[in-house]
Amino acid sequence: MSNSSNVQKVLIAGGGLGGMTAALSLLKKGIDVEVFEQASELKEVGAGLHVAPNAFRVLDEIGLAQEALKTACVAAGREVRLWNTGDTWPVFDLGVKSVEQYGFPYCTMYRPDLLAILVNGVRAIKPDAIHLKSSCQSFEQDTDGVTLHHNQGTARGDVLIGADGVHSKIRQGLFGNDSPIYSGLVAWRGLIPMDRLPEKMRRLVGTNWIGPGGHVVHYPVHGGKLMNLAAISEGNGDWQEESWNIPGSVEDCLALFPGWHDDLKLLIKSIDSPYKWALMIRPPMDRWGVGRVSLLGDACHATLPFLGQGAAMAMEDGFMLARALEVESNPITALKRYENARRDRTARIVNGSAGNTKRFHNPVLAEPETARAYVDREWAPDKIAERYEWIYTYDVTKALI
Which residues are known to be catalytic?
A: 219
- Contact assessment for residue 252 and residue 162, using Cβ atoms and an 8 Å cutoff: no
Torsion-angle region of residue 350: left (phi > 0), alpha (psi -120 to 50) or beta? alpha
Q: How many CA atoms lie within 13 A of 338 on its CB side?
A: 35
Q: What is the 3-state secondary structure (H, E, C) of 73-101?
A: EECCEEEEEECCCCCEEEEEECCHHHHHH
CA–CA distance, 190 with 24 (Å, rounded to integer): 30
Distances (CA, A) of 379 to 65, 79, 80, 177, 208: 30, 10, 9, 39, 12
CA–CA distance, 35 with 16 (Å, rounded to integer): 10
Looking at residue 144, the DSSP 8-state letter turns out to be: S
Q: How many CA atoms lie within 13 A of 53 on its CB side?
A: 20
Nearest alpha-carbon partner for 140 in 11, 324, 322, 263: 11
DSSP string, 201-219: G--SEEEEEEETTEEEEEE
CA–CA distance, 210 with 85 (Å, rounded to integer): 11
Q: What is the 3-state secondary structure (H, E, C) of 328-355?
A: CCCHHHHHHHHHHHHHHHHHHHHHHHHH
Distances (CA, A) of 381 to 136, 209, 376, 385: 46, 18, 9, 6
Three-state DSSP state, 147: strand
DSSP string, 42-78: ---SSSEEEE-HHHHHHHHHTT-HHHHHTT-EE-SEE
Q: Which residues, in sequence order, are CB contacts of 66 under 8 Å at separation 6+?
A: none
